[in-house]
Chains A and B, each alone.
Chain A
């Protein structure tokens, strides 16, 4: 029998706010343990939470970007369970009245574009971290780091619209691209900025009924998500084929052994006893606020891509690559805005610029400080004006990586200007032709591919500075 999977994803996105969700502590990742913690986020007796409005704004951005419905008012609720990394014995989250309901994220499938529905988006605070250091574990002790306590998270729950691990992967890639575009998350999976749990069931293909679902946790990279889902789907199919029944349970992905394993029951058999947090008043989100956030929303990646194709005349492929990250697209557009034809700008950004970013493992922000879009535009314009050839321009670009001078200055300094003087080039072409009488003869006998050879010789003599178009014409004329 053929089976299909039904998958829904719950994604936690760590928000890039300066401070934590309910106190003034820094929310930055990577500080010394317990240096970014205070009585409020550590849940000391008597403290009270105060909502960070920036976190709400970020959530509204996300809601608008997926075309979800921002709720006019929402409520924070306490989710209760005991765990040593949870200082208050409850997590402040949202339950019955989340910040956003509905929306979708579009992915590309073999069958064309597909919308994965969003059930809800809500805000919640992160828990702390338990550190299990060997010396302490031996003594039966774990260490606690409160830096992460109260860091704002956005939980994005999808509809069970995903049908295979590849779609799950593509959904996550889109989601990550989006949150980075919106400037609300750094997208760093290794640091846990994006975390994903999945609900998975399988059913005979064509069936409308849902099978029993399991929850898969601990998938800390996109690749892991895909592999864990593959493993779980085949496990479920194996069980069903053998006439067994799927147990509703929570499973952990073990990336080393590449298997999913049930969690011990005590760890998840929770009744979370949600109820509205009486320390926080209901959050009313007025229309003006929503409209203000909407007006400040950046152009979304897929819209931008469509525009690059429709308005700038770029190929689909270029548009996809350029819009994959907002900073790249911004850079590209700045180059175009400096008066460079879009395709030329695209070639340079996709080629040289992205190569350097990859080579040096630097971000676009850092690169932009060294070679600004206006400086790159100036270089491209030199090519277009015929001052330098394309290959010389690449040399100039290399210089620009360390030399802050303008491209023009570099060209002058290094004597790289193109020779477009017809008289001078004519003389050099004559020299080349007279030095290679045999090749001239063969050319005239019909071996026209030798044109490249002559051009190469001229370039050699001019150290690449000759205007290739002119050289071509001169050679053809003289041999014709």
Chain B
């Protein structure tokens, strides 16, 4: 096995006890990146120099017998909508093409404290708006399982980097499925934490009430490790929750005897690909075989989720993206007066999908429409939350497909935004309700990965990881440390 193929928990253990040099690991991953990037295009920018410097620092400290962080020397890719001080943070947009952040996101401070090696910034749909990573100013990322297909989105760069061996761990962000859907398409694990579990400070906002940063990895244990490092209350984020951070890896081996898993009827209805349904049901059977109790539940307001999401998210986005006006930083197009400068800057600086959503959001927040759209959407959002509360009275977590299909072809849905939006049908409710969700691979269809989504109670990521770990172990067989 090459070093770049190994898991984070194994690599960090070996680095910390001096068995493996972090620098050799970084070399191995950088070499892999050089081979794969021309095919995949997972990254927008790479920081080879910084990565090597950090690896050397870790090696030196290990050699001196000093204490190093929990993920010392592990190469991590970061979605390019998370700010790293001194480096470019583009959000895959022309408008921020040359924007250099003057500060670190809170998750980056935490990663630095854990002594990870930051490799670079991964591709995404512009401002995280999209489900295929095709809406990137820097061009699309390709799915390592089939380069004619999309990696999903918007954290497609992070998912593809993991699947291609171009990173050991990655950070994504999830507003309506942007971690889970690409994880599913690329056959990796992606977790969207409970809203408030991870600080949003330094995550370039798309839809503030829905956005969460989350861990992505090639296995469940690595996902748990990374989640532990980035979680926790942050006084810089008023919406972060003052709750304790458990040791997410501690529960992995506890098994799932007696856990009640709910299958929401509405998530297995029309529009779901047959093979995807089969893989998911096989995984459910397998969980039952491991001692879980399977119950059927209903989330009756599911049919309104996409509409609700596409009112709330663009409304917040239209406001969050108002700051990109050419005045203070980023791209500026000249104009004969201030008004023309604004129009030209935003007209040329944003891509089609971003403009579409800004217009949608501006419309629904306008005087005379606010009550009919935004306010109503907030009310439906409450109903969707209540659906979940009700369901969790009879089960401990829910199991669903992550996406109705496997990875689709590049260009297949670009011309039809509505079909594209529907690929989020199983994921958006989780964001609307602020719940944790994970996508874990559960087999494949025609060689393309299928993802199982598990949805949990607020702040109960432990149960999700525990169940995902069983799925992973049963399907892959496990080579434990």
Contacts and interface: CB of A to CB of B under 8 A. Distances in A.
Interface of A: 39, 42-51, 78, 80, 82, 84, 87-90, 144, 266, 271, 273-275, 278-281
Interface stretch (B6-14, B42-50, B202-210, B406-414): B202-210
Contact of B323 (A50, A89, A271): A89
With a 10 A CB-CB cut-off, give which of A45, A266, A279, A281 has the most chain B CB atoms: A45
Pairs A-B, 3 closest by C-beta atoms: A89-B322, A278-B208, A278-B209
A275 B370 contact: yes
Interface stretch (B32-40, B150-158, B230-238): B230-238
B101 A44 contact: yes
Contact of A273 (B201, B203, B239, B362): B362
Contact of B200 (A44, A48, A50, A87): A48
B316 interface: yes
Chain B residues touching A, range: 35 or more
A285 to B, nearest CB: 16
A31 to B, nearest CB: 19
Given A271-B366, A273-B365, A275-B315, A42 B236 contact: no
A51 B238 contact: yes
Interface of B: 81-83, 89, 91, 96, 99, 101-103, 105, 200-205, 207-209, 235-239, 315-316, 318-319, 321-323, 325, 327-329, 338-339, 342, 362, 365-367, 370, 374
B323 A88 contact: yes
A50 B235 contact: yes
A11 B35 CA distance: 64
Contacts of A49: 238
A45 B201 contact: no
A85 to B, nearest CB: 9
Contact of B322 (A46, A82, A278): A82
7 contacts: A46-B105, A78-B319, A82-B322, A82-B325, A87-B327, A278-B209, A278-B316
A45 B89 contact: yes
Contact of B329 (A44, A89, A273): A44
B238 A43 contact: no
Contacts of B81: 46
Given A43-B328, A46-B105, A80 B322 contact: yes
Nearest to B322: A89
Contact of B204 (A42, A45, A274, A278): A45
A460 to B, nearest CB: 75
Given A82-B325, A87-B328, A89-B323, A46 B238 contact: no
B157 to A, nearest CB: 18
A345 B195 CA distance: 63
A80 B101 contact: no
A45 B325 contact: no
A50 B322 CA distance: 20
A280 B238 contact: yes
A88 B82 CA distance: 18
A46 B366 contact: no
Nearest to B339: A266
